[in-house]
């Protein structure tokens, strides 16, 4: 069953599909990452691309629950940032294409909310 989007705010950002897939900077067209479709519940991602443009992406769903903040860090498996509890991939961020970013993402399975920045 498809997820029903509650909020979807993209600024200077384009997704390959409705709520996941490749993430692109609209200013330069560069691929800056990949948002995994089925494993996240909420995402808030703000970035500055190497081209100088700033963008953001905020998505949550009708059935999204408030995540519980954790001090745990996501683990990196094959360049994907994954939940440390179940090793499920959440998002890939192509660091070399971004000058800075702030990420907050909630795992759909365990409900933990992870933060990462550069």
pTM: 0.93
> What does the pLDDT look like over 28-61, one tens digit per residue?
999 999 999 889 999 999 999 999 999 999 999 9
Contact between 91 and 35 under an 8 Å Cβ cutoff? The reply is yes
Quickly state the pLDDT bin for 7 (edges 50, 70, 90).
Answer: very high
Q: Count the helix, strand and coil residues of the chain and give each as a percent rounded to the nearest 5.
A: 5, 55, 40
Q: How far, in Å, CA of 100 to CA of 118, rounded?
A: 5
> What does the pLDDT look like over 12-33, one tens digit per residue?
999 999 899 999 999 999 999 9
Q: If DSSP codes are grouped into helix, strand and coil, which group holds residue 97?
A: helix
Average pLDDT, the chain: 94
């Amino acid at each position: 069953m498809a997820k029903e989007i509650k909020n979807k705010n993209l600024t200077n950002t384009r997704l390959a599909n409705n709520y996941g897939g490749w993430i692109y900077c609209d200013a330069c067209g560069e691929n800056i990452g990949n948002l995994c479709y089925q494993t996240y519940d909420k995402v808030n991602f703000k970035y500055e691309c190497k081209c100088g443009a700033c963008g953001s992406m905020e998505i949550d769903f009708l059935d999204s629950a408030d995540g519980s903040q954790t001090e745990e860090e996501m683990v990196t498996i094959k360049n994907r940032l994954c939940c440390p509890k179940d090793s499920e991939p959440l998002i890939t961020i192509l660091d070399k294409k971004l000058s800075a970013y702030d990420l907050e993402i909630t795992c759909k399975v365990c409900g933990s909310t992870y933060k990462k920045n550069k």
